[in-house]
Structure 1
Amino acid sequence: MLALSACALLTGCGGGDRPSLVTVTGKVLIDGKPLEGASVFLKRIDASDSKHRRPSRAITNAQGEFSPKTYGDAEGLPVGKYKVGVVKTEYAEKLPENFNAENPATTPVKMRWLVPKPYNDPETSGLTVEITSSGMTPPAIQLDTGGAAPIVESTAAKRAANEP
């Protein structure tokens, strides 16, 4: 149904005993449409050696495509199975004048969750992919809103421990 070319090249990533990485391109679709600007988190679930369970992340482009990185700028993932989380939020209103970008938790703001919250955590999303030497299966991560409008939540301001 969905066509995606997944390029896969086995590449070494240096750094001593790090595993070889497979360069892959995946895609995120929400209600069948590409999702731009989403954070994609991949957590390896089948590593026989626990020191090779490093999580990976990527940001989707305008076509919903992403290329995960595992070790800094080293693109790719070790072969294996992964749990996946996808997050995309935006401010639901103009930021207050006293908003502090250096410490955003001090000022409550309204956030709109563009990806339903159940998809946010790799541990509970139910989303999985498998990386083989041929690429990523499935090649696209399908998200479904069920037609529901995005949730808008107010973030709570957090007080410093020494504030009254």
Structure 2
Amino acid sequence: MSERFRIFTLCFTACLALASGCGKPPMQSVQGNVVLDGKPIENCKVGFFPDTEQFNADRHGFGFGVTDSEGNFTIQHPQGEQGIWAGKYKVTFVAWVTKAGKPLSIDIKPSEVDGGVRNLFPQIYEAPSTTKEKVTVTRGENIFNFDIQTL
């Protein structure tokens, strides 16, 4: 095969992929509310991680949101786009407070707090590998409300 033919084949294949809609799937709107022991939680970082055995960033989306004073959140992809791709997700929750119980601002790193910090949520909700919360994001608008109990 000549070099010109290889280049032509590569370009033709790339054009076909673009024309057929290949690429990233469309983002789907994801929002909701987080309540802990019956009370809305502010500054809770809510994470949506793919519920899959092997993560592939080109095929699986993920995203994060932060709750407001009423516990409401909107998920955003790490690259800044609103929403995430349709699919099955594991949901994590982290709301850091000082040992004295003072909430941490979302821009403060827990490792930089004198005296240490603790998560208001039970430890099982901190990691995708242990969380009990799972959801399915579908096309369109998705609203998920979480009522977590510490007891």
TM above 0.5, one fold? yes
- CA distance in 2 between partners of 1:48 and 1:102 (Å): 28
Gaps of 5+ in 2: 1-21, 101-107
2:148 to 125, 143, 152: 143
Deviation at 1:79, TM superposition (A): 0.8
- After TM superposition, list the pairs within 5 Å mapping 1:81-92 onto structure 2: 81-92=88-99
| Deviating 4+ runs (over 6 angstroms) | none
- State whether residues 129 and 136 of structure 1, in contact with CA within 8 Å, keep that contact through their aligned partners in structure 2: no
1:76 to 72, 83, 87: 83
2:34 to 28, 35, 51: 28
> Which structure has the highest helix share of the two?
2
Deviation at 1:49, TM superposition (A): 9.0
Partner-residue secondary structure (3-state), 1:21: coil
2:62 to 51, 55, 58: 55
Gaps of 5+ in 1: 1-15, 94-100, 147-164
- CA distance in 2 between partners of 1:82 and 1:35 (Å): 21
- CA distance in 1 between partners of 2:133 and 2:55 (Å): 23
Larger Rg: 2
1:124 to 123, 130, 143: 130
Identical amino acids, percent of aligned pairs: 24
Deviation at 1:136, TM superposition (A): 3.0
> Which structure has the highest strand share of the two?
1
Deviation at 1:112, TM superposition (A): 2.9
1:141 partner amino acid:
F
Aligned residues: 123
